[in-house]
Structure 1
Amino acid sequence: MIRNILAAALCAALSAVAGLGLLLHRERQAGAALAQDNAALDVALTGCSARVLAITRDKESDHAIDQLPDFDLRHVPDHWLR
């Protein structure tokens, strides 16, 4: 009788340990997937920041050109013609 109880308790304990191991394995996989998603989003955000910076610089350049008087437009610097 005691052997049956001990066998059942051992079986329950082993099942609990196996279940806990499976749960921890799934959590690690989910964490790795989240880390990959985080890295992909970081790369996308860096790309967006670079595009915004390029647009801002382009607008500043356009504004500087728009501020030139009309008579100065006939005499443009050589580097503008390249």
Structure 2
Amino acid sequence: MRSSSFQDGYEFFANRLLVTIFSAPNYCGTFNNAGAVMTVDESCRCAFVTLMPLADPPIRVSRNRNEIDIDEALEKALEDL
């Protein structure tokens, strides 16, 4: 696995042997992309949860002004599943 930015949150490559996952929906408040989380069960079956960007994402700036805390947005997206 590796990380990059994709509109749908994840994308397969190499005949589905490689998957790229991007977990930050609405990256930097400008890309309007989905994020994704991949789960793997005991039988090694993979499933994806797509995290859609919120219409008005709650952005809270952390103490370090160069970082954005997206924990609340992620928690809300997971609650809506």
What's the TM-score bracket when you normalise by the shorter of the two chains? under 0.3
Larger Rg: 1
Q: Which has the higher helix share?
A: 1
The two structures have a TM-score, normalised by structure 2, of: 0.20
Higher relative contact order (CA 8 A, sep 6+): 2
Q: Which has the higher strand share?
A: 2
